[in-house]
Amino acid sequence: MKPKFQIFVPPQGYVAQRWEEGSSMPPLGILFLAAVLEREGYDVEVVPADILRLSWNEIAKKIDDFKPDFVGITTTTENRFESFKLARIAKETNPKIITLLGGPHISMAREDTIKHRREVDIVSIGEGENTIIELAKAFESGDSLEKVKGLIFRDEEGEIIYTGERPKIDDLDTLPLPARHLIPMEKYNFYMETRDGRKRKAQNIMTSRGCPFNCYFCATPINWGRKVRGHSVERVIEEIEFLIEHYGAEFIWFYDDTLNYNPKRLNKLMDTIIERKYDIKFANEFRIDAIDKPLLEKMKRAGLEIGYFGIEAGASRVRRNVVKKNFEIEKAYQFLKWSKELDFIPGPFFIFSHHTETWEEAKETIDIIGKVKDINPNADISVAILHIYPGTPLEFIAKEEGILPKDFSWSKEEDMKRVETLPAAQGEVPLFKDKLSWWQIADLVFRWSSVSKKSVSKSKIIKALKSIRGLKDIWVYTIFFLTLIKYKIMNLFKKKD
């Protein structure tokens, strides 16, 4: 008998701050899985518990009603504890259900997860489309799961079995379009307001997988591979036209790590969009040391509205030697000048508290943020405190430096008390707090807020207060509160002058 699959996004969602205002992107990863299952004739239900705002009791009822053989759960580092809880609820609903976890966190913390979470039966590593089909066929025929590459599970004796690495999918065009019809697309409220005053219906699309670069905090090259594999331009256009026709898309968010990884391909894509006269705008992420002005001009004609890119650190030593972004700041300034001249919004990312970053070097980041605003006042600047993710070079450094205990487990909630976190702002992810004190980090955050003219909302303050778990949290948030008051007073005096 063919197995039934029920695939969940946990109630917490993906904890991306940019989606806190009630707008969210459809979960392409699990929609690709659902699409290949459907194509092979398997019964599959996708349950975005975050968008449906389901309670734990409602999730249990969903499972009981659908009666799946497999409950799959997409898992990020931010939402991992909710994923574990959902797996436990599935087991409580029906002990015969096989719980299957995948996603970026699971791929990077695979052994830790299967070792410490008994409610998790199987973890899927890396790209899951071929894995889940082979898994379904093995279940259907009664074959051993050891034949299915890309899995870790416990056998009947409790021994942990790793089935070996799953080869990457070389030709992404062999995948069907994501199964967006299986989710309530209208509930995502995904809109982007553009500078022409229009509130445009938005949709996301991923045209490539992989990243050839090696930023020390990022899991993408390990998770997706360093070799970038892209859909053909024809396949990308097919999906764009599908989104326009079926969902009224007026704005496309290219969710690739680096859309301009192959300038020839990107030129062809932009030429086609221009030729077909789509009335769309779009946003994407750039690697700014791999872009030139003629291609940017073409992208602007095609509808470029926002171009995100990482500067990461103001100090050249930190950016080049620590982060491994091998460009000088003049490259960023040139991109910003082009953005102003061509009239699109640049979106630079910055991170505070890098490995070995001193207070003087951290203040250089604020100076750079000020220069960014001087060059293009429309720049949409984002900052974050450095997160530690499993499997990254930064995790190794954090354990060597004692910032993460050497025996730290990503799967034990009690271990979060042993590390620095700001759950209200950054999720349940350890922070890399190296040379800087909390007073200095708070000062950097509010200097950025002052320079960027971005205020801290009341909702974020309330969320921070609700997340307090002990004296350490009270002390950290008191530092942030006192620093906020300091800058409010300073800004008040500036206005009077």
User: In angstroms, rounded to a whole number, what is the distance separating the alpha carbons of residues 206 and 240?
Assistant: 11
Q: Which residues contact 347 (CB under 8 A, 6 or more apart)?
A: 283, 306, 307, 308, 309, 379, 380, 381, 382
Distance of CA 400 to the CA centre of its chain: 26
Q: For CA atoms 63, 7, 113, 469, give the dihedral sign.
A: negative
Select from 399, 415, 431 the last residue of a domain.
Answer: 415
Same domain membership, residue 30 and residue 59: yes
| Residue 14 pLDDT | 74
DSSP letters for 199-217: EEEEEEE--EE--S---TT
**Which of residues 427 and 173 earns the better pLDDT score?**
173
Residue 13 has pLDDT above 90, yes or no: no
HSE at residue 234, side-chain half, CA atoms within 13 A, is: 2
Same domain membership, residue 115 and residue 211: no
CATH number at residue 103: 3.40.50.280
Q: How confident is the model at residue 471 (pLDDT cuts 50, 70, 90)?
A: confident
Of the listed ranges 22-26, 264-268, 359-363, the least confidently predicted one is 22-26
| Residue 451 pLDDT | 79
| Residue 424 pLDDT | 67
Same domain membership, residue 224 and residue 92: no
Helix extents (H) in 376-470: 393-401, 423-426, 438-452, 458-466
Helix extents (H) in 191-262: 220-223, 233-247
User: In angstroms, rounded to a whole number, what is the distance separating the alpha carbons of residues 369 and 336?
Assistant: 12
Residue 236 has pLDDT above 90, yes or no: yes
Of the listed ranges 49-63, 73-87, 285-299, 479-493, the least confidently predicted one is 479-493
Select from 392, 415, 438 the last residue of a domain.
Answer: 415
Q: What is the pLDDT of residues 122-147, one digit of tens each?
A: 999 989 999 999 999 999 999 999 99
The pair of three-digit structure tokens given for residue 150, joined into one six-digit string: 């890309």
The answer to whether position 453 is within a domain reads no
**Which of residues 465 and 97 earns the better pLDDT score?**
97
Same domain membership, residue 247 and residue 342: yes
The answer to whether position 422 is within a domain reads no
Same domain membership, residue 299 and residue 193: yes
Nearest to 311 by CA among 398, 382, 224, 397: 382
| Residue 17 pLDDT | 45
| Residue 212 pLDDT | 81
User: In angstroms, rounded to a whole number, what is the distance separating the alpha carbons of residues 375 and 337?
Assistant: 6
The answer to whether position 232 is within a domain reads yes
Nearest to 109 by CA among 432, 418, 404: 404
Q: What is the pLDDT of residues 32-82, one digit of tens each?
A: 999 999 999 999 999 999 999 999 999 999 999 999 999 999 999 999 999
Same domain membership, residue 41 and residue 133: yes
Same domain membership, residue 362 and residue 228: yes
**Which of residues 326 and 113 earns the better pLDDT score?**
113
| Residue 497 pLDDT | 57
Give, for 191, the enclosing helix (H) or strand (E).
strand 191-193
Select from 352, 381, 415 the last residue of a domain.
Answer: 415
Same domain membership, residue 132 and residue 205: no
Q: Please count the structural domains in the chain.
A: 2
Q: Helix 458-466 to helix 471-496 angle, to the nearest 10 degrees? A: 160
pLDDT mean over 95-113: 95
In contact, 250 and 279? CB cutoff 8 Å? yes
Same domain membership, residue 377 and residue 229: yes
The answer to whether position 426 is within a domain reads no
pLDDT mean over 173-189: 95
The answer to whether position 411 is within a domain reads yes
Same domain membership, residue 142 and residue 189: no
Residue 340 has pLDDT above 80, yes or no: yes
For residue 121, give its domain range.
4-162
Place of tokens 């997340």: 467
Q: Which residues contact 186 (CB under 8 A, 6 or more apart)?
A: none
The answer to whether position 238 is within a domain reads yes
Q: How confident is the model at residue 375 (pLDDT cuts 50, 70, 90)?
A: very high
CATH number at residue 285: 3.20.20.70
Per-chain mean pLDDT for the chain: 91
Residue 392 has pLDDT above 80, yes or no: yes
φ and ψ at 202, to 5 degrees?
-115, 155
| Tally of residues, the chain | 497
User: In angstroms, rounded to a whole number, what is the distance separating the alpha carbons of residues 4 and 16?
Assistant: 30
User: In angstroms, rounded to a whole number, what is the distance separating the alpha carbons of residues 484 and 497?
Assistant: 20
**Which of residues 71 and 474 earns the better pLDDT score?**
71
The pair of three-digit structure tokens given for residue 467, joined into one six-digit string: 């997340």
The pair of three-digit structure tokens given for residue 405, joined into one six-digit string: 């205990």
Residue 459 has pLDDT above 70, yes or no: no
| Residue 219 pLDDT | 81
User: In angstroms, rounded to a whole number, what is the distance separating the alpha carbons of residues 414 and 404?
Assistant: 14
Same domain membership, residue 271 and residue 150: no
Q: What is the pLDDT of residues 296-319, one digit of tens each?
A: 999 999 999 999 999 999 999 999
DSSP letters for 299-367: HHHHTEEEEEEEEE-SSHHIIIIII-----HHHHHHHHHHHHHHT-EEEEEEEES-TT--HHHHHHHHH
Of the listed ranges 229-233, 441-445, 487-491, the least confidently predicted one is 487-491
Most confident of 287-296, 417-426, 444-453: 287-296
Q: How confident is the model at residue 227 (pLDDT cuts 50, 70, 90)?
A: confident
Place of tokens 């300091």: 486
Contacts 24+ apart (CB under 8 A), 402-410: 403/430, 403/432, 403/433, 403/434, 404/430, 409/112, 409/116, 410/77, 410/80, 410/105, 410/109, 410/112, 410/113
Contacts 24+ apart (CB under 8 A), 18-23: 20/459, 22/189, 23/188, 23/189, 23/190, 23/191
Residue 455 has pLDDT above 70, yes or no: no
User: In angstroms, rounded to a whole number, what is the distance separating the alpha carbons of residues 33 and 92?
Assistant: 25
Helix extents (H) in 122-232: 129-141, 220-223
Same domain membership, residue 149 and residue 103: yes
The answer to whether position 145 is within a domain reads yes
Nearest to 162 by CA among 106, 122, 102: 122
Q: Which residues contact 457 (CB under 8 A, 6 or more apart)?
A: none
- Which amino acid is located at 32 in the chain? F
Q: How confident is the model at residue 18 (pLDDT cuts 50, 70, 90)?
A: very low
Q: How confident is the model at residue 496 (pLDDT cuts 50, 70, 90)?
A: low
